[in-house]
Amino acid sequence: MWQWRAGHIWSLWRVAAWLAGCMLLVQALTPGAMLLAHHDFRWHMAQHLVIGMLAPLALVLAAPVTLLLRSLPVKAARMLTALMRSGYVRFVSHPLIALLLNVGAMWLLYLTPLYLASLESAWLHALVHVHFLLAGYLFCWSVLAGPDQAAHSASFRCRIAALFLSIAAHSVLAKLMYGYLWPRNVPHDPDQIRAAAQLMYYGGDFAEVLLLVALFTMTFSKHGSAQQLDARANA
């Protein structure tokens, strides 16, 4: 996994990030966790935080696309590069579009009958999990613009604005759920809904602070590397 060709070793930090992301997903999708999340809204929200926020961040930090490009045969790598540079990927990976796909889907799920429908349909329930995983991954990648090369050209200001909009949208949604007991007509008592809303509020902030730390760490690391290269060139 960490060796793509003889003599080349992939970063162990990237391997650790990938394994952490996979382990989080496995824990969130075990039969026991699925059963608890189906009957207890607090467990559902914890599962959502892992699948849609924590695991995607770890997976993005693992830079899987970069590893694939270095591992695949030349023809396959060129096809993957063409896909990553396509207009569709550039569009959906723009921070504001990724924000809409990620947080907007949460508003749709919890403020409409969609959540109740997902409890009654196995395929819709699975589709919701897949969407939140992919949308969470896309949002983290769009905000960080790395470590895999970004498909968009959004500025740092745009990316950090999208992150703070995400924090605000999560907070407002959590308050609506707490104050007005959304989602409605579901088999969960009010105390569960309020506790889940609190978990979204504080757990979402925690996950987004981690993303913010990763953003500034990567940005300053790139800036420092660029300064070192300039200093060497001028020496």
pLDDT mean over 35-63: 97
Confidence band (pLDDT; 50, 70, 90) for 175?
A: very high
In terms of pLDDT, which residue wins out, 222 or 21?
21
Mean pLDDT highest for which of 70-84, 143-157, 169-183, 215-229? 169-183
Rounded to 5°, angle at Cα 50 from 98 and 174: 70
Q: What is the pLDDT of residue 146?
A: 87
pLDDT at 18 over 60: yes
Model confidence at 7, pLDDT cuts 50, 70, 90, reads low
Angle between helices 41-49 and 31-39 (to 10 degrees): 130
Better pLDDT: 229 or 104:
104
First-residue to last-residue Cα distance in the chain: 39
Q: What tokens appear for 22 in the block?
A: 């996979």
Reported confidence tier of residue 226, pLDDT bands at 50, 70, 90? very low
User: Is the confidence at residue 227, as pLDDT, over 60?
Assistant: no
What percent of the chain lies above the pLDDT cut of 90? 85
Across 33-37, 66-70, 194-198, least confident range: 66-70
Average pLDDT over residues 10-35: 96
Q: How confident is the model at residue 221 (pLDDT cuts 50, 70, 90)?
A: confident
pLDDT of residue 231: 46
Residue 234 has pLDDT above 60, yes or no: no
Bridge partner list, 131: none
Please report the pLDDT score of residue 5 as a whole number. 53
Exposed, middle or buried, 56 (CB in 10 Å: 0-12/13-18/19+)? buried
Q: Which 3-state string (H, E, C) describes the chain?
A: CCEEECCEECCHHHHHHHHHHHHHHHHHCCHHHHHHHHHCHHHHHHHHHHHHHHHHHHHHHCCHHHHHHHHCCHHHHHHHHHHHCCHHHHHHCCHHHHHHHHHHHHHHHHCCCHHHHHHHCHHHHHHHHHHHHHHHHHHHHHHHCCCCCCCCCCCHHHHHHHHHHHHHHHHHHHHHHHHHCCCCCCCCCHHHHHHHHHHHHHHHHHHHHHHHHHHHHHHHHHHHHHHHHHHHHHC
Average pLDDT (137-146) is 96
Q: Give the start-to-end residue ranges of the domains of the chain.
A: 8-227
| Distance in angstroms (rounded) separating the CA atoms of residues 19 and 5 | 20
Distance in angstroms (rounded) separating the CA atoms of residues 47 and 43: 6
Quote the pLDDT of residue 165: 98
